[in-house]
Amino acid sequence: MWMLSATRGCAGVAVLPRFSCHAGRVVLVDWSIRPQVEAFEPYLVDLRRTLGESLVEPLTPASRERLAAALDGQAREEIHRLVPSEQVRSAGAFFTGSSLARRALAGAASTLSEDSVILDPACGVGDLLIECARHLPVATGFERTLRLWGSRIIGYDLHDEFVRAAKIRLVMTLVARGIRPRSPVLPCITDLFPHLRTGCGMRDDGAIAKASHIVMNPPYTAMHAPPGCKWASGSVNSAAVFVETCLRQAKSGARVVAILPDVLRCGTRYQKWRDIVQARTWINSVRVYGRFDRWADVDVFLLDLIVRSTGRSTYRTSWSIPSGTHSATVGDYFDVCVGPVVDYRDPHRGPWREFAFSRGLPAWKVLRSLPGRRRFAGRTILPPFVAVRRTSRPGDKHRAIATVIAGTRPVAVENHLLVLVPKKRTLGFCLRLVRVLQRHETTSWLDRSIRCRHLTVSALGRLPWWSDEL
């Protein structure tokens, strides 16, 4: 039986501060989830046992099955079995899985060679690195191939348990390709793949600049925009920071493949981020994928691009689904905006106003008066107008649920609603818009165009005004 050994690094202690990445700086913040993540440790024992079994000649059907499972979705199942769901979300431990990894790397896999240097700055248990390894050339023999791969594969994760799992699974990938070692003793797991480390992948340590291929499924958690950020301020999605940091440090010609939350593709707030990505790269493809998995309630898209040298780019790509052959859009007939009232933040001063809020509006109804009232000194909306709930999700029966406000007094509108004011200021156009929003074609178009859970001003403005509703 092959002997497998592993040692605990400094990240194996019970409680550690957490690394937080801010555009190349590593900041220590409170990290109370270490004990929960350490619950993943028993699975590492199982992985090592499975690897040992796979090194026995000949492979039994049962050991083949266990090896295949370890390289497929088993790690994702185990993290959710062993670690509470809230802690999984806090740790950002949503593993990519083999199917999604194959989809993401479908275009880039053929460009991998023995000269490739592959980096994953947030590698988790190594799903994207493993998919790359399936396409890497092998050297003469097991040991030489491990050394070759070890010099070419770079990865970081905040959790030592995940890094060790990634190393074991990379060895398994080599075994699955039919290559076995000569020696009965495998080196210590922590000594393999020396560039696969515990830590923050956004540090400017030169690793990003070395990579010919950067693959990532970064955390989607909220963070403060880093100092000097040119595309946003305040709270931003950390995935956007990961991508922008990598593009800033990567060398010209590097291939970047990323699995990202769909809000980066279609959210109005990330337009400047998209402009920066566009200016620094040639974009090979932008592909909508859908829901990440059954545990992570977020829709994602797949981005494949090539970093280019500095200078002005004339190349443009479409981040969103076009309106097709429909020349007229909702934006031709309505002005679209977000409701001005942030209810929890507004001081409730000023004159009493009728108040439109998301939970208080019946779907598809015409209201000539509103039961809600509040004090508000800011901008109001004069009826008639259509209020649409901002929150929906792909797969809902209707993505844009509307209520027509038809009174005569100005209305304070909550920011959880989108407001569509007819340019011709008639109730009739509001009623026609409701028919547009109720159509199956509208729901299908929005499902394709915006996979995040919040409808945007731009999405509703670009929505086709179907020809038979003119």
Q: How many residues does the chain have?
A: 470
* DSSP string computed for 247-286: HHHSPTT-EEEEEEETHHHH-GGGHHHHHHHHHHEEEEEE
Q: How many helices (H) and strands (E) does the chain have?
A: 17, 19
Q: Which of 422, 441, 431 is nearest to 403 (CA)?
A: 431
Measured between alpha carbons, how far is 462 from 299 in angstroms, rounded to an integer? 20
142, β-bridge pairs:
none
What mean pLDDT comes out for the span 282-302? 81
Residue 323 has pLDDT above 90, yes or no: no
Q: Which of 22-26, 127-131, 301-305 has the lowest mean pLDDT?
A: 22-26
Q: Is 318 exposed, middle or buried (0-12, 13-18, 19+ CB in 10 A)?
A: exposed
Q: What angle do CA 129, 277, 101 make, to 5 degrees?
A: 25
Statement: residue 77 has pLDDT above 70: yes
**How sure is the predictor about 94, in pLDDT bands with cuts at 50, 70 and 90?**
low
Q: What letter represents residue 29's amino acid?
A: V
Reported confidence tier of residue 14, pLDDT bands at 50, 70, 90: very low
Q: Residue 287 — very low, low, confident or very high, per pLDDT cuts 50/70/90?
A: confident
pLDDT at residue 24, as a whole number = 38
What is the pLDDT at residue 419?
Answer: 96
Identify the burial level of 349 via C-beta atoms within 10 angstroms of its C-beta, where 0-12 means exposed, 13-18 middle and 19 or more buried.
Answer: exposed
Using 50, 70 and 90 to split pLDDT, how confident is the model at 29? very low
Which comes out higher in pLDDT, residue 420 or 327? 420
Question: In whole angstroms, what separates CA 11 from the centre of its chain?
Answer: 26
SS3 content of the chain, % helix, strand, coil (to 5): 35, 20, 45
Q: 255, 306 in Cβ contact below 8 A?
A: yes
Tell me how far apart the alpha carbons of residues 144 and 47 are, in angstroms, rounded to a whole number: 23
Q: Look at 131-145, 197-211, 303-317 and tell me which has the smallest mean pLDDT.
A: 303-317
pLDDT: which is higher, 304 or 16: 304
pLDDT, residue 401, reads: 95
Lowest mean pLDDT among 131-140, 247-256, 326-335, 387-396: 326-335
Return the pLDDT at 3.
Answer: 37
- Please identify which residue in the block is written with the tokens 């023999």: 141
pLDDT at residue 32 tops 50 = no
Is the pLDDT at 183 greater than 80, yes or no?
Answer: no
- What is the C-alpha separation between 69 and 71, in angstroms, rounded? 5
Amino acid at 86: E
Q: Are strands 352-356 and 373-375 parallel, antiparallel or unpaired?
A: antiparallel
Helix-helix angle 238-249:271-280, to 10 degrees: 20
Cis status, amide bond into 58, omega within 30 of 0: yes
- Higher pLDDT among residues 34 and 128, named by residue: 128
pLDDT value at residue 373: 93
Confidence check: pLDDT of 148 > 80: yes
Between 115 and 468, residue with greater pLDDT: 115
Residues 444-466 have a mean pLDDT of 84
> What percent of the chain clears pLDDT 90, i.e. is strictly above it?
44
| Residue 244 in this model has a pLDDT that exceeds 80 | yes
- Cβ 338 vs Cβ 459: under 8 Å: no
Q: What is the DSSP string of 305-358?
A: EEE--SS-------SS---TT---BHHHHEEEEE-SB-TTTS---SSEEEEE-G
Domains of the chain (ranges, CATH numbers): 10-307 (3.40.50.150), 330-469 (3.90.220.10)
pLDDT on residue 248: 92
What pLDDT does 191 receive?
82
* Pair 154, 117: CB distance under 8 Å: yes
pLDDT above 70 (res 469)? no
For 359-401, what is each residue's pLDDT tens digit?
Answer: 889 999 999 999 899 999 999 999 999 999 998 877 789 999 9
| pLDDT band at residue 243 under the 50/70/90 scheme | very high
- CA-CA distance, 224 to 232, in Å (whole number)? 9
Q: Flag the least confident range among 238-247, 276-285, 303-312.
A: 303-312
Give the C-alpha separation, 117 to 149, whole Å. 9
pTM, rounded to two decimals: 0.68
Please check the confidence at residue 92 and state whether its pLDDT lies above 60: no
Neighbouring residues of 337: CB distance < 8 A, sequence distance ≥ 6: 418, 419, 421, 457
CA-based nearest residue to 55, from 144, 188, 147, 183: 183
Look at 12-21, 134-143, 224-233 and tell me which has the smallest mean pLDDT. Answer: 12-21
Report the distance separating Cα 217 and Cα 50, nearest Å.
Answer: 26
Assess whether pLDDT exceeds 70 at residue 467. no
Instruction: Give Dmax over CA atoms of the chain in angstroms.
Output: 85
Closest CA to 261 of 215, 222, 211, 214: 222
- The residues near 65 (Cβ < 8 Å, ≥ 6 apart) are none
Identify which of 268, 324, 317, 275 has the alpha carbon closest to the alpha carbon of residue 458.
268
Residue 264 has pLDDT above 50, yes or no: yes
Give residue 131's pLDDT: 95
